[in-house]
Amino acid sequence: MNILVIGANGLLGQEIVRNLSKENKVYALVRGSYPVDFDNNKNIKILKIDLSKSNKYNFPKDIEVIYYLAQSNHYRDFPEADKDMLWLNIISPIEIISWALKSNVKKFIFASSGGVYKNPENPVKEIFNIDISNKNGFYLDTKLCSEILLKNYADFFETFIIARPFFIYGTNQKKQMLIPRLIDNIINDKQIFLNSKEGIRINPINVKDAAKAFENMIKLKGEHIFNIAGDEIISISSIANLIASKLDKKVNFVINKSDQNNLVADNSKMKELLFKPEVSLEKGLNEMLNK
């Protein structure tokens, strides 16, 4: 198959590109640096486009599958980076799905976020209604807006999927993300802030497992929404303590008492139709700490 991966230089995108390029032609769209090994793979073609500055796409005409994985690196910078988030999360997905429709692309897969669930009850299911009356932050609200708009195109594709990842982690992940940030804070004896004694509870998923789930999406037909999450439900403080024990360090917790809901996904649909997680959190952390 001819597959276009948009956001191919991200943690998830890199894993998907490497795996799918074993048997497919993969066009890897990036806007910055990308792994050196991509250039050494004859099945990978690099497309350098900054989606936040251009809507002129010179895509091949024979694309069969599109993965839209792009996200803004400035998701915390509101309102300074509102236009970057707007372009990457709303304008570009709509422009590209419109191009896909005209170009007879069969399958369109959009990576949203588990964070779109607002004030969630645990565990959150894909069938839950999302209350749009509450603010959830500009980044997450643009993701949800894009979901709402993109669904209007679903019937025009053989496969249309919205994926909601929950705390994907893995080796070489960007330092500002949750688990690399915990590791850095513990190594450098920095404070870790929690909103309660335990902090929120989550069920993170290793990038290897997340990528397998995304790769299997192209085997499905019809319209779907999937939570992409792991099996282990664990608090932030427990993750930090686990990391600290492996580094023979102590954790400097600071408790700021405030209300914050857990963000735990029901991943049963993912396990039934896509992939069952195989990498334990302990194994995933060992790989990150021993890289």
Mean pLDDT check: name the lowest of 109-113, 120-124, 155-159, 230-234: 120-124
Handedness of CA 73, 144, 122, 203 (dihedral sign): negative
Question: Residue range 64-69: average pLDDT?
Answer: 98
Locate 229 and state its tokens.
């999450």
Question: Residue range 150-163: average pLDDT?
Answer: 98
The pTM of the full predicted model, rounded to 2 decimals, is: 0.93
Any domain includes 100 = yes
Distance of CA 161 to the CA centre of its chain: 14
Three-state secondary structure call for residue 165: strand
Please report the pLDDT score of residue 137 as a whole number: 87
Q: Which domain holds residue 30?
A: 2-169+205-229+264-278
SS (H, E, C) 168-188: EECCCCCCCCHHHHHHHHHHC
Residue 75 has pLDDT above 70, yes or no: no
Cα separation, 82 vs 76, in Å, equals: 10
Number of domains in the chain: 1
Locate 282 and state its tokens.
């302990």
Binned at pLDDT 50, 70 and 90, residue 56 comes out as confident
Contact 277, 230 (CB under 8 A): yes
Share of residues in the chain with pLDDT > 90 (%) = 77
Any domain includes 57 = yes
Any domain includes 115 = yes
Mean pLDDT of the chain, nearest integer: 93
Q: State how beta strands 107-111 and 44-48 pair.
A: unpaired
Please report the pLDDT score of residue 141 as a whole number: 93
Please report the pLDDT score of residue 57 as a whole number: 78
Question: Residue range 59-86: average pLDDT?
Answer: 86
Any domain includes 181 = no
Cα separation, 71 vs 119, in Å, equals: 23
Any domain includes 197 = no
Higher pLDDT, 256 or 268: 268
Cα separation, 6 vs 28, in Å, equals: 6
Residue 77 has pLDDT above 80, yes or no: no
129: CB partners within 8 A, 6+ apart? none
Any domain includes 49 = yes
Any domain includes 84 = yes
Cis preceding linkage at 35, omega within 30: no
CATH number assigned to the domain comprising residue 105: 3.40.50.720
Any domain includes 174 = no
Secondary structure element (H or E) that encloses residue 270, with its range: helix 268-273
Residue 121 has pLDDT above 90, yes or no: no
Locate 67 and state its tokens.
């993965």
Contact 55, 92 (CB under 8 A): yes
Question: Residue range 9-27: average pLDDT?
Answer: 96
Higher pLDDT, 157 or 256: 157
